[in-house]
Every structure is written in structure tokens, then in C-alpha cells.
Structure 1
Amino acid sequence: MRAVEDYANDDDAAPLDMLAALFEARGWPCSVRGHEVSGEVRGSWAKYQVKGIWRADDRVLQILCLPEVRVPDDKLGAAYELLGTINEQLWLGHFDIWSNGGVLLYRNATMLGDDGTLGLSQAQALVEIAVEECDRFYPAFQFVLWGGKSPADALEAAMVDPAGEA
């Protein structure tokens, strides 16, 4: 596998190679299996499992970010209501809950060009966007799932921007 610096000179590489090089350059543990690269990234609130899944036939790279949040059955209604409100605010990607196990995830798919390559800056942006969106809305999910707040109250509480300096 080439180092991320090598890709900076070429600009583009096979998507999984580029993601693996990026993870390694950042010191994030990762593994590549078949058409998938999987790594662990530390966010502001939690560790996230970040996966890149490559569909070569369609030249589509899907980025998944899983914040290790499972939605219990009794909270599914409130969680889906919160998802709908959050997804209205996103320009790229969306949050979802896997029907198998109630796992919360952020998902974004990107169609790559005819050559199916991924640039370093694009790889960085895709991973950073996924982690930033998970960090941005992680508190809202915690407020609904464990704090007993309504989806509207949870989102409002989570979106308070701090002012000033400590």
C-alpha cells in the first residue's frame, strides 16, 4: 500500500487504497477486506466506526459512520421522528437506523468519475463530513434515547451553540 504523501502527487487513486492510506496517515486503525475499508475514528463525543464500501460496477463509494448507538424498540418512534428532522437539515448524506439490530448510522454515497478514482482532498472531506455530522447530532440522539426528551426538545438542546470563551 502506498503512503498518503504518494497520492498527494498523483491526486487520484483507487477509492479503498486512498481511504486506507488516509486512515494510516492519521493514525486511525483500519483494515481492508474485499470491497470495504473499515477504521475507527475518535470524534468529539465517541469513537466512530467509519467504513468505505466500493461498488466498482457503478463507481459508487459509500461512506458509513456508526456512532455505536443502538436504538431500543421502545424508542424507535421518537428516534425516527428525530431522524426525519435531522435529515431535513443535511445537504450531504443522511442518518438511518438499520432494521437489523437498531444500529444508528450516517450514510453518504458518492459517484466517482469514469476512471473510478478518489482524490486525497475528496477522501478527507468525505470522512470529515461523516464524523462532523455524527458529532453534531450525537447529543440529540442521547437526549432522546437516554434523557427522555422529545425529539424537538432534544434537537433544540443539542444545537445550542456556545458563546464566548472559557
Structure 2
Amino acid sequence: MNTQRHTFEEGEDAAPVEMLAAMFDAHGWSWEQVSEDEVCGEIPGSWTTYQLRAIWRREDHVLQLLCLPEVRVAENKRQVAFELLALINEQLWLGHFDIWSQGGVLLYRHGLMLGDDGMLSLDMAQLAIDTAIAECDRFYPAFQFVLWSDKGPREALDAALVDAAGEA
């Protein structure tokens, strides 16, 4: 359920959920405001469509972004998936990948600490979304190799990074 939002200009800050909803609108992505402090939308990536959830924690001044590539890790694949997660997370500067214990859902998570005013700039919002999508796109093939091709974690990561390097 989309509702029309204000369009923000460069240099203009807004409440995090409001800023992200405006960005979803501006890009034509489907989205919904789950609550006053949460918005989620679907964003196309190179390999799949990602669900992006943003949860604003007012008391901590933290905006948590969750990017879900619609990958579920079966119980019998968890060990190799966790090994792959460890290898991938060593390479990340921002955020990390995780598997939720309930349902085995793969996700990328990143928390943005905002100032005391709790405002989010357009540039920061765009950078956070771009980073989440780029990291999911970059490592999506490695998860597919481990989950569906029975490659080992190191082999899957190496293959995914070589493939990504060759796509330029």
C-alpha cells in the first residue's frame, strides 16, 4: 500500500522511515509502511528481487536495514552456509550476512547510527540501499553454489568472486 510521499532534495534531511518511503516512491519500487517505525519494499537486483526492511529504533537513534534475497537455508545445509558466511563477512566493511534461526532465512543486515536529531539524509539513504543491494548481488552466487551445486564454501566464494569480476 503506497501513499504518496514528499520528494526530498539533496541536502535535505528527514525522519528515516519517511526518507526511505520517498526513495521507494522515487524509484518506482513497491513498498509499504509496516508501522510508524518500519518500512519495507522490493528492490530489483542483478540476480533476484530483494526485500528491504528498514526499522527505526528511536531510543537508540539506529536505523537497521535488512536486505533479504529470498534464500532459505535448509537444516542440512546450515553448517556449510555458516562457513560461507564467515568467509564473506571477513570481506565486508559495512554490515554482515546472517541466517535467522527461525526459518533459516538468509539476510544482509546493517545498522546506521544517526545523530541525536534522528534525521537521515538523501545521500546516506541512497548509499545504504546501494551498499545493501551491491553486497547481496556480489555474494548471491556463492550462496547458490553452496546450496544448490554442492560446492564447498571456499570454492563457492572463489567461483562467485571470479564470476563477478568477469561481468564488467
List structure 1 segments (4+ residues) > 4 angstroms apart after TM superposition. Answer: none
Structure 2 unaligned runs (5+)?
none
- Which residue is 1:112 aligned to? 114
Tell me the TM-score normalised to structure 1 length: 0.94
- Which residue is 1:162 aligned to? 166
Q: Report the secondary structure of 1:23's partner residue.
A: helix
Pick closer, same or farther for the CA change 1:10–1:89 going to 2, 3 Å: closer
Q: Report the secondary structure of 2:25's partner residue.
A: helix
- Which residue is 2:145 aligned to? 143
2: distance between equivalents of 1:11 and 1:84?
A: 38
Residue 3 (structure 1) shift: 2.7
Q: Deviations over 1:66-98 (max 9, x none)?
A: 000000000000000000000000000000000
Q: Report the secondary structure of 2:117's partner residue.
A: coil
Q: Is the 8 A contact 1:3 1:25 kept in 2?
A: no
Q: Report the secondary structure of 1:57's partner residue.
A: coil
- Which residue is 1:68 aligned to? 70
Tell me the TM-score normalised to structure 2 length: 0.93
Identity across matched positions, percent: 59
| CA RMSD, 1 decimal | 1.2
- Which residue is 1:40 aligned to? 42
Of stretches 8-17 and 75-84 in structure 1, the one that deviates more from structure 2 is: 8-17
- How many aligned residue pairs are there? 162
Residue 17 (structure 1) shift: 0.1
- Which residue is 1:27 aligned to? 28
Structure 1 unaligned runs (5+)?
none
Q: Report the secondary structure of 1:159's partner residue.
A: helix
1: distance between equivalents of 2:10 and 2:43?
A: 25
- Which residue is 1:16 aligned to? 17
